[in-house]
């Protein structure tokens, strides 16, 4: 074990994973080397890519023990494909599979049994939710730790060859017989296919699974035929209703609206809300409320922004239609209004996860962000942020694009209530660090705003605007004065997950909860 730059003890080596690099700072790691080259595969004239079923596609791809199978999560909790494919692999008697998913949801609970019976022995993902997250954290059902990556860190790992995908499965709302794919047609349209793009480009074999065949060539084309080996037609690949969650609506909670108003005032005071500015907000109700306040200001003052990025909601679509922003850069549609928009509006642009947030390509969209607003599970006095584990230490969230956009944006603001239930949100030390404090500029609560001491310029602007600025320690003291100091979560020494920073270094570990 070694202490990283945040003082967290992280392993130098894990059997079955290999050597690990400790986090040294948000911009400290300088990568070298070449990009991964996938194996050459071919389809000669006259050969067909259509196969009868998933089992046949697995056989043609040469499925065997120990392989890595990738998936994308554009259907979120409506995804059918992960369970379909892993069930088939289990029936074939294959073992020791690594599930390499852009995220996993409650609907993927059946993986618990596949872990227990040895079919799945590794998971690499951005997030884990529901009973799967609890079983991994509380019962340590996997011998090998889960690897948690951000949305930018995942394509970085794929392109660098750090993660090698044997077979990529792509849930395609529409596909033609030669494997051209888009997400905007058919009964299960999900919109952007951004997370699947790196998988298709770098996997040794690529299987498209669709429930809606279109005449050749599909139009538009999100993933082209040149990357696809086989096409499988099934009855249903997912439920688009599972894309939407209650968290993608503007909050009506008075406390959350108050916090959103404070955050809006801070954004305005920063001076960044001006002609051509760019913006990203999380999908939580308070973040969307900040966006709503911003929208009204832009209308009133005639301000036109450049782009909104990340996962796109109907709220962003409305702002595009109103001419408040020129462009939407979309890696994942978060509701059905966004799905319809990306199909019909040429200024609503699909982007890959690498384009969105990969720190080791030649320039990602996150680097062009002016303002980023996100929420948090916990923030500590060093401004480190936790969005992956609950207050009880159980994995219940996702790294997502949190650390990517915090690092890339000019202004990163975390919004949160000072208390959730009887638990303070500002603490001495977060349970799990996902986003390092050096990339967080301010924390906005209902009681006051704490500015990172690195941003003296911002603190001066906020004070000049008469905002209620206080230290992060003062916020913590207020919270603890109301609730008392929270007890420390009891864990064993067993590591159940490694949290990678976006550059591939280990920023923290998650340990088994007693």
Q: Is the pLDDT of residue 249 over 80?
A: no
Q: Is the pLDDT of residue 75 over 70?
A: yes
Residue 248 confidence (pLDDT): 62
The two three-digit tokens of residue 279, written as one number: 């913006």
What pLDDT is recorded for position 285? 81
Cis peptide, bond prior to residue 334, ω within 30 of zero: no
Q: How many CA atoms lie within 13 A of 107 on its CB side?
A: 17
Residue 121's pLDDT is 98
Q: Which single residue is written with the structure tokens 């409305």?
A: 318
Query: Residue 106 in 3-state DSSP?
Result: helix
The pLDDT-based confidence of 444 (bands split at 50, 70, 90) is very high
Within 10 angstroms of residue 27's Cβ, the number of other Cβ atoms is: 11
- At 422, is the pLDDT very low, low, confident or very high (cuts 50, 70, 90)? confident
pLDDT score, position 47: 87
The pLDDT value recorded for residue 283 is: 76
What band does 244 get if pLDDT is binned at 50, 70 and 90?
confident
The overall average pLDDT reported for the chain is 95
- Quote the CA–CA distance of 471 and 200 in Å, as a whole number: 47
The predicted model gives 277-304 an average pLDDT of 92
Average of per-residue pLDDT across 45-51: 92
Cβ atoms of residues 14 and 20 within 8 Å: yes
The predicted pLDDT at position 245 comes to: 57
Contact between residue 67 and residue 207 where contact means Cβ atoms under 8 Å apart: no
Residue of higher predicted confidence among 414 and 245: 414
Query: For residue range 486-495, what is the model confidence (pLDDT) as tens digits?
Result: 888 999 999 9
pLDDT of residue 411: 98
CA dihedral 92, 154, 206, 165 (to 10 degrees): -50
Order of all β-strands in the sheet with 506-513? 50-51, 230-233, 205-210, 167-172, 68-71, 97-101, 120-125, 146-148, 491-500, 506-513
Residue 143 pLDDT greater than 90, yes or no: yes
Contact 358, 159 (CB under 8 A): yes
State the residue for tokens 């020494």.
493
Structure confidence by residue, pLDDT tens digits, 192-210:
999 999 999 999 999 999 9
Tokens in use for 93? 């008697």
Name every residue whose Cβ is closer than 8 Å to that of residue 97 and which is 6 or more positions away in sequence: 65, 66, 67, 68, 69, 86, 89, 119, 120, 121, 122
Give the 3-state secondary structure of residue 456: helix
Dihedral pair phi/psi, residue 340, rounded to 5°: -65, -40
DSSP string, 387-413: -SB-TTS-B-SB-TTHHHHHHHSSEEE
Residue 138: Cβ within 10 Å count: 16
Burial of 296 (0-12, 13-18, 19+ CB in 10 A): exposed
Query: Helix (H, G, I), strand (E, B), or coil: what is residue 444?
Result: strand
The whole-number pLDDT of residue 48 equals: 87
Cα distances (angstroms) measured from residue 38 to each of 160, 166, 232: 11, 9, 22
Q: What is the predicted pLDDT for the residue at 252?
A: 81
- Quick check: 247 pLDDT over 60? no
Mean pLDDT of 400-417: 97
Distance of alpha carbon 295 from alpha carbon 212, whole angstroms = 37
């Amino acid at each position: 074990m070694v202490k990283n730059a945040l003082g967290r003890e992280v392993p130098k080596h894990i059997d079955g994973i290999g050597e690990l690099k400790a986090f040294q700072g948000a911009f400290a790691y300088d990568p070298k080397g070449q990009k991964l080259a996938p194996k050459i595969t071919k389809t000669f004239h006259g050969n067909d890519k259509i196969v009868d079923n998933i089992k046949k596609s697995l056989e043609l791809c040469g499925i065997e023990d120990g392989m890595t199978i990738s998936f994308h999560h554009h259907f979120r909790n409506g995804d059918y494909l992960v369970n379909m494919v892993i069930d088939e692999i289990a029936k074939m008697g294959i073992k020791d599979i690594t599930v390499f998913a852009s995220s996993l949801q409650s609907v993927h609970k059946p993986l618990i049994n596949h872990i227990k019976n040895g079919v799945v022995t590794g998971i690499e993902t951005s997030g884990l939710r529901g009973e799967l997250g609890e079983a991994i954290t509380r019962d340590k059902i996997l011998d090998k730790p889960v690897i948690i990556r951000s949305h930018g860190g995942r394509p970085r790992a794929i392109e660098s060859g750090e993660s090698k995908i044997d077979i990529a499965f792509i849930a395609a709302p529409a596909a033609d017989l030669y494997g051209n794919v888009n997400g905007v047609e058919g009964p299960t349209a999900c919109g952007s296919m951004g997370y699947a793009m790196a998988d298709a480009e770098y996997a040794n074999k690529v299987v498209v699974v669709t429930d809606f065949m279109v005449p050749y060539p599909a139009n538009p084309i999100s993933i082209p035929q040149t990357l696809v080996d086989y096409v499988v037609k099934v009855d249903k690949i997912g439920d688009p209703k599972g894309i939407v969650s209650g968290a993608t609506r503007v909050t009506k909670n008075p406390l959350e609206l108050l916090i959103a108003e404070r955050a809006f005032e801070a954004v305005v005071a920063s001076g960044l809300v001006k002609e051509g500015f760019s913006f990203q907000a999380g999908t939580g109700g308070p973040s969307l409320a900040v966006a709503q306040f911003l929208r009204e200001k832009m209308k009133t003052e005639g301000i036109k922004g450049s782009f909104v990025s990340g996962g796109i909601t109907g709220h962003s679509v409305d702002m595009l239609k109103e001419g408040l922003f020129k462009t939407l850069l979309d890696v994942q549609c978060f509701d059905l209004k966004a799905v319809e928009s990306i199909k019909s509006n040429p200024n609503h642009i699909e982007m890959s996860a690498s384009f969105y947030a990969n720190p080791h390509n030649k320039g990602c969209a996150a680097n062009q962000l002016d303002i980023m607003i996100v929420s948090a599970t916990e923030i500590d006095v060093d401004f480190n942020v936790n969005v992956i584990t609950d207050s009880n230490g159980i994995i219940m969230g996702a790294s997502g694009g949190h650390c990517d956009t915090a690092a890339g944006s000019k202004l990163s603001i975390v919004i949160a209530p000072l208390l959730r239930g009887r638990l303070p949100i500002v603490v001495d030390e977060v349970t799990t660090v996902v986003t390092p404090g050096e990339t967080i500029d301010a924390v906005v609560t209902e009681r006051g705003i704490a500015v990172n001491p690195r941003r003296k310029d911002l603190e001066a602007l906020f004070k000049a605007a008469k905002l209620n600025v206080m230290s992060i320690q003062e916020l913590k003291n207020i919270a603890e004065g109301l609730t008392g100091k929270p007890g420390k979560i009891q864990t064993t020494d067993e590591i159940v997950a490694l949290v990678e920073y976006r550059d591939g270094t280990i920023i923290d570990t998650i340990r088994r909860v007693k």
